[in-house]
Chains A and B, each alone.
Chain A
Amino acid sequence: MQDFFFYLFSALTVLSAFLVVVSPNAVNSAVFMIVSFVGTAAMFLLLDAFFLAILQVLVYAGAVMVLFLFIIMLLDVERSSKVRPDVLTVAASSVATLLLIFGMVYLFLTGNDASGPALAAVPEVPGGASPMEFATAARSFGYGLFTKYMLPFQVAGFLLLVAMIGVIVLSKRTAGTRAGAPDASEIRESEVRES
């Protein structure tokens, strides 16, 4: 049964990732991206990482993709994205990707252990021999986060603060913006005047 779900969700993830790349519409790309992220979250569930699966759905499929969709719709990129990539770009990127996939398959076929053992069962109680042992409970996650990875955890918090300040500074309207290209409201006013 687990095998069936693995094949189902890996096919879903890879197929929707492919559709992200090839769909000409940016909104369609974003929606397929959400499907791909949910498929990855399902694979995290199959790997017994329940906390990360929840986090994946909340942060990636929820917050990040909403931000992407919002920006895509705000910028109205559909008008300017009608231009198709030329033949040389398609050929070169396809060849590079096929080389990457070929190298990967070659590595898998010639590796030490081509078949790979099945993954061992996870203990129900968190922290058997050592507290950092893999366990399904979110408690073992927090233990590692607040002992071994305390400094990176605090640095990550600081990084989020810096990113927040940076976004506020970047999106602040400066005097130079008005001097250059016309503002969206100005364009709308001129359209109203013309009609």
Chain B
Amino acid sequence: MSGIGLNAYLFVAGLLFALGFFGVLLRRNTLVIYMCMELMLNAVNLALVAFSRFNRTMDGNIFVFFIITVAAAEVAVGLAIIVALYRKRRTVQVEELNALSN
């Protein structure tokens, strides 16, 4: 078998999570912030699959299935909100979206 253990996968997942975190803090475009949130969800998925494989149970894999389902629903609703906001304000930049009402 290979010499790659659980820790290597967890390290990659942690790096991916940190990059998503960096993007959420750095970017000003709501769509890119949203994509970086997806990146963090993806990092958690990778860690869960690695744990599931390490513990030899299917539970982690099934959790990832649910995360993918919820993320798909979340993307649909979130993008609809962004489109509705864009119709109202003509912008997707967060520094111009600083008030909840007109």
Contact = CB atoms under 8 A, between A and B. Distances in A.
Interface of A: 1-3, 6, 10, 13-14, 17-18, 20-21, 26, 29-30, 33, 36-37, 40, 43-44, 46-49, 51-52, 55-56, 59-60, 63-64, 67-68, 71-72, 74-75, 77, 80-81, 83, 85, 89-90, 92-94, 96-97, 100-101, 104, 108, 113-122, 132-135, 140-141, 143-145, 148-149, 152, 156, 159-160, 162-164, 166-167, 170-171, 177, 180-181
A169 to B, nearest CB: 9
Contacts of A167: 76-77, 80
Contacts of A60: 38, 42, 68, 71
B53 to A, nearest CB: 5
A93 B25 contact: yes
Contacts of A56: 45, 68
Contacts of A115: 5, 7
B7 A108 contact: yes
A54 to B, nearest CB: 11
**Is chain B's binding surface mostly helix, strand, loop or mixed?**
helix
A108 B42 contact: no
Contacts of A100: 17-18, 21
A14 B46 contact: no
The 7 closest A-B pairs by CB, nearest first: A116-B5, A93-B25, A163-B73, A116-B7, A2-B2, A21-B23, A97-B22
B56 A133 contact: yes
A71 B31 contact: yes
A134 B52 contact: yes
Interface class of chain A by DSSP: helix
Contact of A141 (B17, B58, B89): B58
Interface string B73-89: 11111011111101111
Contacts of B69: 156, 159-160
A74 B92 CA distance: 12
Given A37-B42, A75-B86, A141 B15 contact: no
Nearest to A1: B2
B42 A163 contact: no
A68 B41 CA distance: 16
A21 B22 contact: yes
Contacts of A164: 76
Given A17-B16, A17-B19, A93-B22, A81 B57 contact: no
